[in-house]
Structure 1
Amino acid sequence: MTAAPETASRRGPRTPSHAPSRADGAAALVGCLDGAAVAVAAALVGLPGLLALAYGLVAVCVLAADGSYRPRITTFVGLRVPRLVAAVTLPLPLLVLAGAGRGAPWVPVAAVAVAAVLLPLERAGVGAAQRHRRRRVGGEPTLVVGAGPTARALTATMRARPELGLDPVGVLDDDGPQTDPHDGAILRGGVGELPGLVRRLGVRRVIVCPTAAEEPGCPGVAGPPSPGVLEEGLLGAREAGARVWVVPRFPSAGLDVPHGHLDDLWGTTLVPLRPVRGDTAVGARLHRAGELLLASALLVLTGPWVLLAAVLGGPGRLAGPGPAFYRQWRVGRAGAAVRVVKLRTVAGGGDDGWVVPAHRVTAWGRLLRRTHVDELPQLLGVLRGDLALVGPRPERPAYAAVFARTVPGYLHRLRARAGLTGWAQVHGLCGDTPLDDRARFDRQYVEYRSTWLDTVILLRTLAALPAAPARGAAVAPDTPGGRS
């Protein structure tokens, strides 16, 4: 077995830390209180007990889908009242369908009206309790990236206002002025040290400000840190379990982002970054169960065609000399080696080159490639758990090691399980196409992957099958059928 590339194993994706912070525990508590407030409001107007509880649960699910329970710095409720009202209003048709208004048609409407008042009041009380607790217990350890005037001002604000829940433990800047000790900040080191400091100091919050080199009033600095270094540092901080907020580079230009998705630090707008996606145990099991069900159904439907193709393309038959199946080791999630199996389409077996000459692809192989039957044996890899139905296409170790050094962001694709089809492939980036583009789409998939995105990719893959061109020309062997 060929070893995974050294670069991938050295840098490889780290396992996200999911140690709960105080804010994470508070979010769960707020969800319970929201559900209780909505259920009590419904019960006050005569909604049956079980139906009132169900109403509260649905409202909490709507709020969770809207991102209402993400950790926030500001606890001000006023600007979020419209979203709270919308969350308790959306389930109204369900209440009507459930018969909540039998004999009293006004009951569902009254339940929504009372909940629309009680829920914001409950949130206001929770916010007051959070501010009181932050003053009494202290804030969570916070690192500030950037040593310019904005960073110094925000650090001073954090120390002066404990109700924000932030305890600045240091400032990072690759080339900034020494911080005035009177403002309470500690210069900890460069941006590249961010992941290590997050783990060592137990940091739960990271605020990214313009660096000293990016702001006026900081003479004598060489320049801002490399974007790649900063990006890697922020990824490492997120994987270590820290939440990251970014100060917009143009503070006087309003962001066209719903206010409910922004945060605020005493008048300074902050844009939160998504946490590194880590499946919960329940979510991972549900996703895996759905994947197994779909892969099994596809195998049942296509299995006879695969068996027929294997018999016809066996040794000495339509595919020429060589075995019916072609096996290769590829690099999967976290640099682990996975075995890919497909029907052989090239005369004489595999090829170590990047491109297979057109004359090596047999007539039988061209038929398999056109119908995509050569890909179907990989469904067995999905059942084994080596592959996913959707994910970045796996690469051979030798090429992965080269691409890790030469293609920016290439290794980010190793944060997800390799798949049969992916976000890059449905955009036509397969075969001998620009690797930079493929890596960019793979990185976007890894950051934003979800069940719905997987569904969209699968549907687009199926829709593209009838229009797939004949592939008699030279193709890359490491991209099965030129569709990797």
Structure 2
Amino acid sequence: MIRQSQGFLTQVYAITDFIFIQLVFLFSWWLKFRSGWIPYENTLPIADYALWSLIYGGIAIFLSYFVNFYTPKRRKKFSYELFTVIQVYTVSLLILLSFLFIFKEVHISRSYLLLFLVNNIIMISFYRYILKHVLRQLRERGYNKQFVLILGAGTLGKRFYQNLLQHPELGYEVVGFLDDHQTTHEVGFESYKPILGQIDELERILESLIIDEVIIALPLAAHHKYGKIINICEKAGLKTLIIPDYYDYLPSKPYFDNFAGIPLINVRDIPLDEFRNRFFKRAFDIIFSLIAIILTLPLLICIAIGIKLTSPGPVIFKQERVGLNRRTFMMYKFRSMKVQKESDSDTKWTTENDPRKTKFGSFLRKTSLDELPQFFNVLFGHMSVVGPRPERPYFVEQFKEEIPKYMVKHHIRPGITGWAQASGFRGDTSIEDRIKHDIFYIENWSFIFDIRIIWKTIVNGFINKNAY
């Protein structure tokens, strides 16, 4: 019955989205062509636009089904839904533009379509946020519950139960435990839900109680029982989840991958491993870096002239850095020091009163203007606008032995700015703290997170007391 209601909710989501798209179409039409707030020239009848609005709605609903946007995701944050809305509705508009090009609909206002897109993202996100908030409140009050049975009343099962109690907003309720080695909880755990029987009684328990998910929290010694347990759960149409007895050894959020037809546990869930996420991040990098280069072109020329006038040598300083997948690349910066041996620049830190710096170079470093050429690294694909800062090979070899998980930062492209830098960890600051921030960024990446880091970098300013 609960699964039927979830299917019904999926249909309600799709229908509601489609209705909202058409309401947004009418609002955007009024805003653009009837409000008088936005100037426009002669336009097509509203019926012509309405046809394409219906097509756009169909495309958006299809893509939402395609990316499983309507599948219930109690454990996902709202930022996930927001990012998915932006992706789905932006890609839908690109597909619509392709249709307009094919059918030579050249008189459809492109500025109206942009307004339509922005309003769609705002309205769909707003109603989704309200709906998510309402569902969360209902779950905390005991409505829309999902009932869970835990197999194993040992350390794993008890820890899962404790963690679940701390998140009532998820709407999960444990009905009890099954365990082969104890019939009641030991002293100190009497308040836990009861032990309903042994593992072999699972089929009887599933027939007598309303259960939606079964959590297997058994020790490795009981792995031979997994096959029978899973078969019983699938026969009953229940979702089964396994807590591995070795999860304490996993460094972060693991997930199952598939390689050569064999399921594998991937110990680190990296959002940028997904093609669509990499595609959108790369597209954003190219657009952002092109805009940045065009806007700062006069400044780039002035800095180049300033370097030439204040010290002999090349304008651009190139240095080997370690990037994506531990591959090296040449990172570009404006030269801020006197020309020196490559061995010195690759193995020595810059100090506050470093005699190698030129006067003009000190200014460039303090204001971070020496970093501007790295937008060309972004265009060439060596770097991203946002990501962990790249380091020299000499120090990478040193840090990987001294700092736990240091090499994890190379799972994604390095960036001009990053979560660590935006949080104040730049220059002469703790490498350990930087790595913690880098790993947090890698595991929690989203398009909104990138925008937040860029905004925080701009707001905090480019002048930093630790930038030597």
Please give the TM-score of this superposition, normalised by the length of structure 1: 0.50
386, 393, 399: which one aligns with 2:395: 399
Distance 1:154 1:439, change over 3 A: farther
Distance 1:32 1:243, change over 3 A: farther
Q: Is the 8 A contact 2:310 2:360 kept in 1?
A: yes
266, 271, 281: which one aligns with 1:287: 281
- Corresponding residue of 1:383: 379
2:198 corresponds to 1:207: no
d(CA) in 1 for partners of 2:253 and 2:444?
A: 14
d(CA) in 1 for partners of 2:325 and 2:462?
A: 34
420, 429, 435: which one aligns with 1:439: 435
Q: Is the 8 A contact 1:171 1:185 kept in 2?
A: no
How large is the Cα RMSD of the aligned pairs?
5.3
Which letter does structure 1 place at the counterpart of 2:284?
A: G
Q: Is the 8 A contact 1:35 1:59 kept in 2?
A: no
263, 286, 302: which one aligns with 1:308: 302
- Corresponding residue of 1:452: 448
Distance 1:67 1:311, change over 3 A: farther
- Corresponding residue of 2:225: 184
Alpha-carbon shift at residue 285 of structure 1 (Å) = 2.6
d(CA) in 1 for partners of 2:327 and 2:365?
A: 27
Q: Is the 8 A contact 1:170 1:185 kept in 2?
A: no
Which letter does structure 2 place at the counterpart of 1:413?
A: K
Structural mapping, 1:21-170, within 5 Å: 34-35=10-11, 39=15, 54=57, 57=61, 68-69=72-73, 153=178, 157=199, 160-161=202-203
5+ residue gaps, structure 1: 1-26, 73-93, 99-111, 117-126, 128-142, 173-178, 187-203, 212-224, 245-272, 472-480
Deviates more, 1:149-158 or 1:279-288: 149-158
231, 237, 257: which one aligns with 2:250: 231
Aligned-residue sequence identity (percent) comes to: 24
- Corresponding residue of 2:270: 276
- Looking at both structures, which has the greater relative contact order when contacts are Cα pairs under 8 Å and sequence separation is at least 6? 1
Q: Is the 8 A contact 1:238 1:276 kept in 2?
A: no
Distance 1:432 1:58, change over 3 A: same
Which letter does structure 2 place at the counterpart of 1:376?
A: L
Q: Is the 8 A contact 2:323 2:413 kept in 1?
A: yes
Alpha-carbon shift at residue 280 of structure 1 (Å) = 4.2
5+ residue gaps, structure 2: 24-49, 77-115, 121-130, 136-145, 161-176, 181-197, 228-239
Please give the TM-score of this superposition, normalised by the length of structure 2: 0.52
Q: Which structure has more helix as a fraction of its residues?
A: 2
Distance 1:243 1:341, change over 3 A: same
- Corresponding residue of 1:420: 416
Which letter does structure 2 place at the counterpart of 1:294?
A: F
Residues 83-140 of structure 1 deviation map (CA, whole Å, 9 limit, x = unaligned): xxxxxxxxxxx9xx99xxxxxxxxxxxxx9xxx9xxxxxxxxxx9xxxxxxxxxxxxx
Alpha-carbon shift at residue 422 of structure 1 (Å) = 0.3
Q: Is the 8 A contact 2:417 2:454 kept in 1?
A: yes
What secondary structure sits across from 1:323 in the alignment?
Answer: coil
Which letter does structure 1 place at the counterpart of 2:282?
A: R
Distance 1:298 1:148, change over 3 A: closer
d(CA) in 1 for partners of 2:255 and 2:396?
A: 25
**Matched length:** 309
- Corresponding residue of 1:363: 359
d(CA) in 2 for partners of 1:292 and 1:275?
A: 25
